[in-house]
Amino acid sequence: MDIPLISNLNVWQNIALIRFYHFNESRLPARKRVLGLLNRFQKMEIADLRIAALDHRERFLVKLLRAAMVQDALLVIDRPFRLVPDLPDAEMIEDSLAQIDELYTSCQIFDYAWNRNKYRIKDVSEY
């Protein structure tokens, strides 16, 4: 999920970018969709902020929501603790995924073996 956010767009425009280009969705319905998603996370106040004004967790959320805008999304999150270094565990990541589970088909999280204890799952594959 190391997709760059566009600095001259605000949060809602960054998230809606996929809807604009892949589905030719107009601004009003796209904004309404994004605000609804941000509301799930009680983050509507960041909708009109630029990316530079966000903290690590908010940037992660914006990247996650934008990735989930692809129809039948297959999400890949690579080393989430690099994206959000202040997290003590993966609870915020897992909870965020649960709140948007209808938007994606599958999600794979890749991380270092030494971060295994930060996840609530027992079945961890090592490759």
Domain range summary for the chain, segments of one domain joined by +: 11-118
Q: What is the DSSP string of the chain?
A: --PPPPTTSBHHHHHHHHHHHHH---HHHHHHHHHHHHHHTT-GGGTTSBGGG--HHHHHHHHHHHHTTSTTEEEEEE-HHHHSTT-SSSHHHHHHHHHTGGGEEEEEEE--GGGGGGSS-S-----
Residues forming beta bridges with residue 104, ordered by sequence position? 73
Render each residue's pLDDT in the chain as its tens digit; 127 residues.
556 899 999 999 999 999 999 999 999 999 999 999 999 999 999 999 999 999 999 999 999 999 999 989 999 999 999 999 999 999 999 999 999 999 999 999 999 989 989 997 766 666 5
Q: Is the pTM of this model over 0.75?
A: yes
